[in-house]
Structure 1
Amino acid sequence: MATAASADRLGRLLNLVPYLLARPGIRVAEAAADLGVTERQLREDLELLWVCGLPGYGPGDLIDMAFDGDRVTITYDAGIDRPLKLTPDEALALVVALRMLAETPGMGQRDAIERALAKIESSAGELADAPVAVRLPGNDDRLATIRGAVERHRALRITYYTASRDVLTERVVDPMRVLVAAGRAYLEAWCRRAEAVRLFRVDRIDGLIELDEPAAPPPQAQPSQLSEAVFTPTPELPLVTLRVGRGSRWITEYYPCEEIIAESTEHWLVSLRAADLGWARRLVLGLDPEVTVVAPAELAEAVRGEAHAALAAYGADPD
């Protein structure tokens, strides 16, 4: 019931701003009657809108309004200037995304996915019947084999490329599920070599063989609790501190950071955990030339050494 009430309120909030924009200075009581809610509920909605807006969430980013007695006027709409209505492209994108979720093995709340898909397909009309093939990201044949192994509960022998160490390893895994995170397909499995649950990017599995033995993850093999990111920083991983200029501040949005300090208008000190220092070295070498390594010293020395070697190869003076 609470979920339904939250969904109703979200829909009301999305339409409230364009409604008020079209009726500047409307009485709160009149607006509440039009929207079918109590005056108290409408005032609570208006208070919530005050903390909604665009990324940055500072002055000039949030929805703003002015009250004159019992009248209200929207003074800044944060781009919500029309009722929510899906374009054909948006509707098709939602249909495709939901069909992909429905096809993912082990996906929970499948009934909710099917209900949402049915509602959007009904609204989309003929567009929902567009001949769009839905496949999870990654090599189709490889992914089909992996999904089959998950469904048949069979172990796999895989050859896997680990980008952080730039090595190929062979290991036997007990598949648990296939999932999609950050736009990529992953196999989650118990790795017998690591004796732990691991996520394997499907497009980095160079070879695989389904074994004639059942998958047998031990009792301690529990599925990961994923949000949008696959990498989860932990305290035992190396802490890297970089001084970055404007051109490389994007890393603070792309990677989980432990601390961001604005040294000046031009430079930030950014601290983040790295899977290992080899990965951090490749990250820094691919960033803007103004990025410098503050800590650890061994990373700074490794980056400096590679930069000097690259300059020497081109006949440039490292100094």
Structure 2
Amino acid sequence: MNRTARLYALVEELRAASAAQFEVNTRTVQRDLQALMEAGVPVRTTPGRGGGWSIDPEMTLPPTRFTAAEASALAVALAAADASAPYAGAARTAAQKIAASMTGPASVAAQELAARIVTLPSPTDSTVRAAVEQALTTNTVLRLSYIDAAGRESDRAVEPAGLLTADGRWYLIAWCRARQAGRGFRLDRITAAAPTDEQAQPHDLTELLLGSAAAGAVQPTALASLTPPTKKRKAPPR
């Protein structure tokens, strides 16, 4: 993790009053905290036994007015984004920001429900997940090794179109150059993956799913507000 990203992450960790691993030693983290203080971030240090670092409680996100039901729904949704899910790291930091901004009954409801949820993570390799995330975010070609349902392993170069979740599993939907067709790759069957610098051609996710078992897949209702309105296609000239 580079220093800029680490400094921002430290602020979020201090807001959430929790600990995290930043892939550096303790002395480096202490220097980062000192840099935050010098930059004007209201970080405080308490010396002695039981002391530590904290951030001024006033430096928080504005209170978010969730109802208890909405806060509980968020707790369930974030629990589904376990360590094997795509963008799980970003989901963790988003959860910290949400938790830091909630107050009152909503906060209590979310905390009580969160304490009653457990999960059995799937064995998706974190390096594979990171490569898939990068290829999707940058729209670049992804090279991967894949084991299909019959146990056959193959190497592919694919052009990512999107993600599909079904029955608790995640699939990368992509244009497979070897098959010259759309294919779904279950993330826990990808044994190795490496993003490239080559830009991928744009592919329509819905069109790649046509004719497959997932042809009826629809966008989750909860994500509709995040999606820009679809542009209407012009009718071809007659």
TM category (shorter chain) comes to 0.3 to 0.5
TM-score by length of structure 2 reads 0.41
Greater length-normalized contact order (CA 8 Å, ≥ 6 residues apart): 2
Q: Tell which structure's C-alpha radius of gyration is larger.
A: 1
TM-score by length of structure 1 reads 0.32
